[in-house]
Amino acid sequence: MERRGFLKSLAGAGLGLGMLPAWGAATPAQAADADAWRAVVMDVDACTGCGACVRACHERTAARVPRPVSPIPVSRWGRDRRSDWWERRQLTDRLTPYNWLYLQTCTVQTARGERQVFMPRRCLQCLNPPCVSLCPLGAARQRVTGAVYTETSLCFGDGQCVAVCPWHIPRLQSGVGPYLHLAPGYLGYGQTFKCDFCEDIIAGDRPPLCVAACPHQAQHFGPYREMVALARQMADERRGDLFGLRENGGTCLIYVSSIPFRDIEAALLRQGLISPGRPSLRPVGASLERENRLVGTVLAAPLAGAALAGLRLLRDHWSEKHED
């Protein structure tokens, strides 16, 4: 996208100097009627790890995550934060900009012996998403359905969404996006990518591609309240555990498992299976504290907007002079 397109997007988003998103304001799903919310119940006991959902999601990422420029611009100040997954775009053993759904697999010791657990992991689609509230350019957005997505024409990969996400879900790809046309090396590092809950598909009340592809009915899609009731019923029937009803204020992805999630988390930790792109299942209190610390950063966000706008004026002035 050219600079002009980026700035048009800013204008269309109602953003500009002094008009950046307000921290603490209700996000679209919070402001909407809960009847509009959609959710997925993920039945961990039914998942066989066949990978059909991962393959279905790849169709989506292939159409949405571009090839980076070569060479990728080097950061001119601070730490070099470039991140390039293009050569590793076929990797499916973790979340990457090119892999939005990952099968987290571990062996758990139960009273009946060892069991292999498969947990499809992706953005949990928080109902009160800090990535949306704290994105300095308003690039992280939410639909009334609860789908959290990225307006890629606005994202310049500063990584705020990664920092504030309790599970560090978004993944950075450098060498793509509008920063290339603004001040590559000075402002931004690329774009962050993650599962968008197939936001356009679920807006028509159709299930996300990964849910539709599951041949073992391990995933269920529907109105949020119905999915919460279903998850509770499934958990009651098998005296199981739930993850997603309370986490980070509630998410649109709700996991049900007969094995407690704290046991799965412990097994993942013991087996060294939690690392960047391989998210934990930890409670999110710690991340909310971090979010509070980040308020200072967000209050400084208008400065980022001012810097971008100032830069645009300078560069437009420079190009006009040279076009004359």
Which residues contact ligand SF4 (rule: CB under 6 A)? 47-53, 56-57, 60, 100-101, 103, 118, 120, 122-126, 129-131, 148, 161, 165, 167, 169-170, 194-198, 208-210, 213-214, 216, 218-219, 248
Q: Which is nearer to ligand SF4, 130 or 190 (CB)?
A: 130
> Going edge to edge, which strands form the sheet with 253-257?
219-223, 38-43, 253-257, 241-243
CB 75 → ligand SF4: shortest distance, Å?
Answer: 23
Q: Which is nearer to ligand SF4, 10 or 253 (CB)?
A: 253
Residues 6+ apart with CB under 8 A from 173: 65, 68, 83, 84, 85, 86, 97, 98, 157, 190, 191, 192, 193
Measured distance CA(62)–CA(162) in Å, rounded: 22
Closest CA to 151 of 196, 188, 185: 196
Residues 6+ apart with CB under 8 A from 79: none
Residues 6+ apart with CB under 8 A from 146: 29, 36, 37, 38, 39, 125, 127, 197, 224, 252
CB 152 → ligand SF4: shortest distance, Å?
Answer: 14
CB 24 → ligand SF4: shortest distance, Å?
Answer: 16
How many C-beta neighbours within 10 Å does residue 159 have? 17
**H or E stretch including 266?**
helix 261-270
CB 127 → ligand SF4: shortest distance, Å?
Answer: 9
Main-chain phi, psi angles of 22, to 5 degrees: -90, 130
CB 4 → ligand SF4: shortest distance, Å?
Answer: 29
**Amino acid identity of 35?**
D
Q: Which is nearer to ligand SF4, 120 or 184 (CB)?
A: 120
CB 17 → ligand SF4: shortest distance, Å?
Answer: 26
CB 31 → ligand SF4: shortest distance, Å?
Answer: 16
Measured distance CA(256)–CA(238) in Å, rounded: 10
Q: Which is nearer to ligand SF4, 11 or 286 (CB)?
A: 286
Q: Which is nearer to ligand SF4, 69 or 295 (CB)?
A: 295
CB 216 → ligand SF4: shortest distance, Å?
Answer: 4
Query: Angle at Cα 284 formed by Cα 278 and Cα 286, nearest 5°?
Result: 105
Q: Which is nearer to ligand SF4, 7 or 53 (CB)?
A: 53
Q: Which is nearer to ligand SF4, 185 or 265 (CB)?
A: 265
How many C-beta neighbours within 10 Å does residue 296 have? 8
Q: Which is nearer to ligand SF4, 161 or 235 (CB)?
A: 161
